[in-house]
Chain A
């Protein structure tokens, strides 16, 4: 079945540093990738929509200069949290669309748990 690889699965960093998270579709070309953030016991919050070769579309309230998204190819999207602060600590999850032709079915990565000290 369709697989989306996301890494690192967890990362701890110091405040002020930048962290890059990668999301790869392993056996299909992802027409669109999405990035979510989820705080404990809360629902998924869509941060941005990423299409290969074009700028990401950010949801209202998400700082595009802080959360840099690059969609370099049909199989790779990256999220960089710049100048991370403790309030950025969260579970970041990517998903990819394209595994099922003609459908909006999402295949999720395993998620990346970020802790900013």
Chain B
């Protein structure tokens, strides 16, 4: 079992819809959780991080964390074609490293 698992996709949604990206992790002691976006040929950029159970909202993005279920998700409201990218879920370890999932490719169709 991978430490951080994501559906590889591709996930396709129409413009204006909600895109839902999911991630599960195996280390129950994980404390920090991150979502990064990576456009093709570019390096990742941070979208959000979350530490506590519940929801955290930032503009059109909402991160949801459920530590009991070892599950973290990212919702993108009013999806735009510019949101088309690969979304990487990362889980922070006690050693300060982040373990990345393989990413979910999202395509937003106009």
A residues apposed to B, CB below 8 Å: 6, 31-32, 34, 42-44, 46, 49, 93, 95, 97, 103-111
Roughly how many angstroms separate A15 CA and B75 CA in the complex, as a whole number?
A: 45
Cα distance A8–B100 when bound, in Å? 25
User: Does B25 have its Cβ within 8 Å of any Cβ on chain A?
Assistant: no
- B60: Cβ under 8 A from any A Cβ: no
A109 to B44, CA, bound (A): 8
| Residues from chain B with Cβ under 8 Å of A6 in the complex | 43
Inter-chain contacts of A44 with B (CB < 8 A) = 44, 88, 100
Bound Cα distance from A105 to B44, whole angstroms: 12
B42 to chain A, nearest CB (A): 7
Once the chains bind, are B96 and A108 in contact (CB under 8 Å)?
no
What are the 9 A-B residue pairs with the smallest beta carbon separation, nearest first? Answer: A104-B92, A43-B102, A111-B43, A108-B43, A93-B43, A104-B32, A44-B100, A108-B44, A110-B43
Which one of B45, B49, B90, B97 contacts A103 once the chains associate, using CB atoms below 8 Å?
A: B49
Interface contact B101-A106, CB-CB below 8 Å: no
Neighbouring B residues of A97 by C-beta, 8 Å: 96
Whether B98 contacts A106 by the Cβ 8 Å rule is yes
Instruction: Assess the B97–A49 pair: CB atoms within 8 A.
Output: yes
Tell whether B46 is near chain A: CB-to-CB under 8 Å: yes
A42-B102, A49-B97, A93-B43 known, 15 other contacts, Cβ within 8 Å = A34-B97, A34-B98, A43-B100, A43-B101, A44-B100, A46-B97, A93-B44, A95-B44, A104-B34, A104-B96, A105-B49, A106-B34, A106-B36, A106-B46, A106-B98
